[in-house]
Amino acid sequence: MFFSFLVVVILTAVALVVAAMTIAKLIGPRSYNAQKGEPYECGVPTRGQSWVQFRAGYYLYAILFLMFDIETVFLFPWAVIVEEIGIYAIVSISFFLVILVLGLAYAWKKGALKWK
């Protein structure tokens, strides 16, 4: 029963994506020119190579930001039901926060939060 429901959901998702892409292709504007293919930044034409290698520190900083930003998504449902669960809620969220603080301490010690 569950497997057939899962297959229906997956097939529906695939059908909706294909339908959306087909409709967009059929009714979308079709004006192609070389200028549309050029990379630009805020309307200013680029000079030199557009493909520039970035330091990995930028990506690491972004991943750390997302990790601690997603933490708040998990804290909100917990805050809603904390009174219903009781002491178990406090213990479980404390464990969760300890793991996050250890991750932050590790990243800080490795120098991931420093801009060089």
Q: What is the pLDDT of residues 10-68, one digit of tens each?
A: 999 999 999 999 999 999 887 777 777 666 666 666 677 767 777 777 777 788 888 88
Bridge partner residues of 44 (DSSP): 41
The runs of H, that is alpha helices, within 29-86 are 56-85
Q: Is the whole model's pTM more than 0.85, yes or no?
A: no
Q: Is residue 44 part of a domain?
A: no
Q: Is residue 92 part of a domain?
A: yes
Q: Is residue 66 part of a domain?
A: yes
Domains held by the chain: number: 1
CA distance 67 to 61: 10
Pairing of strands 40-41, 44-45: antiparallel
Q: Is residue 114 part of a domain?
A: yes
3-class SS of residue 88: helix
CA distance 78 to 70: 13
Question: Any residues with CB less than 8 A from the CB of 75 and at least 6 apart, and which?
Answer: 93
Q: What average pLDDT does this structure show over 61-76?
A: 82
Say if residues 46 and 40 touch (Cβ distance below 8 Å). Answer: yes
Q: What average pLDDT does this structure show over 104-114?
A: 83
3-class SS of residue 45: strand
Query: For position 45, what pLDDT does the model report?
Result: 67
Domain that holds residue 101: 60-116
Q: Is residue 102 part of a domain?
A: yes
Q: Is residue 82 part of a domain?
A: yes
Q: Which region among 44-48, 84-88, 96-100, 104-108 has the lowest average model confidence (pLDDT)?
A: 44-48
